[in-house]
């Protein structure tokens, strides 16, 4: 897993990422470090989450400008429910607020919203705003913004296995028909391209139960910056480094 290198100027980055043949089709981001960003500044952890929303906005807008087909953001993991209730309540408030306040911008930029993860535990009022935003943006043709909310990859794979098992029990398919395509078709991400580039902020060298099936051949890039510090230039830098990688997918190059 690679860590970030010294930044280049945003102008140079912007020039290089315009090479569409070398740009990632799908970028996934583990947005880590909100709480530590706040603690370093002697602020409540929730202030880190509040400032993280600005990074979300910057990143979404830049991916739309660069014509990235899909951006997937790890917003809330299934393990995050272990956090203090006041922090979870604030995260739900931020999510509800984002769904309401960003709709006009999402429509203006042609961004289509999708959500993956289990819906149990998410307040009804928040689910209603999520569903409304998904519906309103469903015919947009620009970047797909996929939000992973109450998401865990092991849970996703377990749910897919259960779906397949039910189809076998009902006689729709036989066990020897199970292959990688069938499994992928039963994941939350069915119909989506696999990520080409996985970005993680805060310098942590782990995947954290995120898209374990889908990132089999993704290129990984880690920055020491906390998520509230992540800017367009960091996205450009990650894309520049991605463009230099030799993606062999287990094969050899001539």
* Distances from the Cα of 174 to the Cα of 24, 169, 171, 180, 188, angstroms: 36, 9, 7, 15, 22
- Domain region containing 96: 29-243
SS3 of residue 111 by DSSP: coil
Which stretches of the chain are assigned E, i.e. beta strand? 2-3, 26-30, 70-77, 112-116, 144-151, 197-200, 219-222
d(CA 44, CA 68): 34
**Residue 43: inside a domain, yes or no?**
yes
Q: Is the pLDDT of residue 135 over 90?
A: yes
Q: Per-residue pLDDT tens for 218-232?
A: 999 999 999 999 999
* Distances from the Cα of 246 to the Cα of 21, 56, 123, 241, angstroms: 13, 29, 44, 10
Tell me the average pLDDT across 137-166.
98
Residues annotated as catalytic (active site), given as ranges: 32, 80
**Residue 143: inside a domain, yes or no?**
yes
Tell me the average pLDDT across 204-220.
97
The per-residue pLDDT for 5 is 42
Mean pLDDT of the chain: 92
SS3 of residue 76 by DSSP: strand
Tell me the average pLDDT across 201-212.
97
pLDDT tier, 1 (very low <50, low <70, confident <90, very high otherwise):
very low
User: Total structural domains in the chain?
Assistant: 1
Q: Per-residue pLDDT tens for 45-92?
A: 999 999 999 999 999 999 999 999 999 999 999 999 889 999 999 999
Torsion angle of the four alpha carbons 55, 115, 24, 21, in this order, in degrees rounded to the nearest 10:
-120
What whole-number percentage of the chain has pLDDT above 90?
86
Q: Per-residue pLDDT tens for 161-179?
A: 999 999 999 999 999 999 9
**Residue 56: inside a domain, yes or no?**
yes
d(CA 232, CA 234): 5
Burial 36-60 (b: 16+ CB within 10 A, else e): bbbeeeeeebbbbbbbbbebbeebb
The per-residue pLDDT for 254 is 54
Q: Is the pLDDT of residue 10 over 50?
A: no
Q: Per-residue pLDDT tens for 15-34?
A: 455 466 789 999 999 999 99
**Residue 2: inside a domain, yes or no?**
no
* CATH code: domain of residue 178: 3.40.1180.10
d(CA 166, CA 46): 42
**Residue 197: inside a domain, yes or no?**
yes
CB 194 within 8 A of CB 214: yes
**Residue 8: inside a domain, yes or no?**
no
**Residue 238: inside a domain, yes or no?**
yes
The per-residue pLDDT for 229 is 98
**Residue 147: inside a domain, yes or no?**
yes
């Amino acid at each position: 897993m690679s860590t970030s290198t010294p930044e280049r100027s945003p102008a140079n980055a912007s020039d290089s990422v315009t090479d569409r043949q070398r740009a990632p089709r799908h970028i996934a981001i583990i947005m880590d470090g909100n709480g530590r960003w706040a603690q370093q500044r002697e602020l409540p952890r929730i202030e880190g989450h509040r400032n993280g929303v600005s990074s979300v906005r910057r990143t979404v807008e830049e991916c739309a400008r660069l014509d990235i087909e899909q951006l997937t953001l790890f917003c809330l993991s299934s393990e995050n429910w272990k956090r203090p209730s006041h922090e979870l309540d604030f995260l739900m408030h931020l999510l509800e607020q984002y769904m309401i306040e960003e709709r006009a911008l999402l429509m203006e930029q042609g961004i289509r919203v999708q959500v993956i993860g289990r819906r149990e535990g998410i307040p009804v009022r928040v689910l209603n705003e999520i569903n409304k935003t998904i519906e309103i943006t469903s015919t947009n043709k620009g970047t797909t913004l996929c939000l992973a909310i109450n998401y865990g990859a092991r849970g996703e794979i377990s749910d897919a296995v259960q779906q397949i098992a039910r189809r076998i029990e009902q006689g729709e398919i036989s066990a020897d028909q199970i292959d990688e395509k069938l499994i992928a078709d039963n994941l939350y991400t069915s119909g989506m391209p696999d990520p080409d580039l996985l970005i993680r902020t805060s310098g942590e060298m782990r995947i954290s139960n995120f898209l374990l099936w889908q990132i089999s051949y993704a290129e990984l890039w880690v920055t020491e910056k906390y998520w509230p510090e992540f800017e367009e230039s960091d996205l450009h830098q990650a894309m520049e480094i991605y463009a230099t990688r030799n993606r062999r997918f287990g094969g050899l190059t001539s």
